[in-house]
Amino acid sequence: MAFSLFGKRDKSDQQPDEPITPLAQEPQEQKRGFFDRMKQAVTRTRESFSESISSVIALTREVDETTLVNLEPLLLAADLGAPTTALVMENLRQRALRVGIQGGDDLKRLLKAELKQILDGVARPITHPAALPEVIMMVGVNGTGKTTTTGKLSAYFTAQGRTVLLCAADTFRAAAIEQLEVWAQRSDVQIIKTKQGGDPSAALYDACAAAKARGTQILIVDTAGRLHTKTDLMKELDKMRRTAEKLIPGAPHQTLLVMDATTGQNGLTQARLFTEAAHVTGIVLTKLDGTAKGGIVLAIATELKLPVIYAGIGEKLEDIIPFDSASFVDSLID
């Protein structure tokens, strides 16, 4: 029997899935804009993922254990990772036992609910300090788009009417300071810098003092992604954290780890190093538009226990958006 595992349920016995509603604090037009941009960003993932799911569902009119077995490799292929996939599959089976699965549409709704629950499970509200400036430290390995993301965030906050100061504290990588200067000009914000090879903590000290003196609302700190050894890097980041806190209580208020979505599971290994040593509070996922494995967002939530706060969705200055679990899941699965 097709439903020997699950059994059939009357529709009257089924519990409806929780509706996905827009964030209350955002205007509907803005929310729709975020959804449209997110949908465009995950086009490559959706095309492969949704088409594969549809092909699995088309093989049977009723969802049974065979359908779920066929679903599992699709989740792995989308880069959800083994732990996340195992969790989703177990929950789907348990929910199927309770409410049954009446067909492909039911399976998609259940899958969406499971994915959203994983993302919402690690979500946390961003707490802003009572006294300004708010210090945001950007960390991550070289090549993930950290300096570019720093520039994009400065433009994003400036567009909200908030004053921003950049700190060029990546003094190790050649041309990093010059690169951030270009982004500062593009986003029309000021920058505090030192020479290449200089003391990044000294640059941060000057930036904190300047932000306080100028009444700046947000100070964004671009840090090095590599020093001579990993130990040197983590010691330097810790020194910078202590430096910031001496001048500004509670700083850094956010520490954002920049990850490249195209590196997939390999990026998780690098990310663990920073999350353990740098007190990371959230993720900025870059190049989400350049991968067919956008499921890495779910792997980050499961394995790093961290929320994705912003998503990079292109190369333009304005191509960064706040991450929203409902928009992401709705965009991923048609």
Separation CA 252–CA 87 (nearest Å):
34
Locate 200 and state its tokens: 């990044």
* Owner of token pair 């899941």: 329
Separation CA 175–CA 224 (nearest Å):
12
Helices 176-187/146-159 angle, 10° precision: 20
Contact yes or no for 43/72 (Cβ under 8 A): no
* Owner of token pair 């350049």: 290
pLDDT value of residue 11: 41
Residue 129 one-letter amino acid: P
pLDDT tens digits for 108-145?
A: 999 999 999 999 999 998 889 999 999 999 999 988 99
pLDDT value of residue 228: 66
Order the strands of the 164-169 sheet from edge to edge. Answer: 190-192, 164-169, 218-223, 134-139, 254-260, 282-286, 308-312, 320-322
Contact yes or no for 110/17 (Cβ under 8 A): yes
Bridge partners (DSSP) of residue 206 are none
Bridge partners (DSSP) of residue 322 are 310
Residue 138 one-letter amino acid: M
Q: Residue 28 contacts by C-beta under 8 Å, 6 or more apart in sequence?
A: 22
| Strands (DSSP E) found in 120-198 | 134-139, 164-169, 190-192
- Locate all alpha helices (DSSP H) within 169-282, ordered by sequence: 176-187, 200-214, 230-247, 265-277
pLDDT value of residue 276: 77
Q: 0.85 cut: is pTM over it?
A: yes
Number of residues assigned to the chain: 334
Separation CA 80–CA 296 (nearest Å):
5
Taken in order 140, 144, 150, 155, is the CA torsion positive or negative? negative
Provide the residue-wise pLDDT of the chain in tens; the chain has 334 residues: 343 344 444 444 444 443 333 334 445 656 668 789 999 999 999 999 988 888 888 766 677 888 899 999 999 999 999 999 999 999 999 877 787 788 888 899 999 999 999 999 999 988 899 999 999 999 999 889 999 999 999 999 999 999 999 999 999 998 999 999 999 999 999 999 999 999 999 999 999 999 999 999 999 999 998 876 788 888 999 999 999 999 999 999 999 999 999 998 888 988 888 887 789 999 999 999 999 999 999 999 999 999 999 999 999 999 999 999 999 999 999 7
pLDDT value of residue 20: 33
pLDDT value of residue 297: 96
Distances (CA, A) of 196 to 90, 177, 199, 290, 311: 52, 7, 9, 32, 29
Separation CA 195–CA 172 (nearest Å):
10
* C-alpha closest to that of 323 among 223, 256, 251: 256
User: Which 8-state DSSP code applies to residue 103?
Assistant: S
pLDDT value of residue 131: 93
pLDDT tens digits for 74-94?
A: 999 999 999 999 999 999 998
Bridge partners (DSSP) of residue 136 are 220, 254
Distances (CA, A) of 94 to 69, 76, 114: 14, 20, 12
Bridge partners (DSSP) of residue 135 are 219
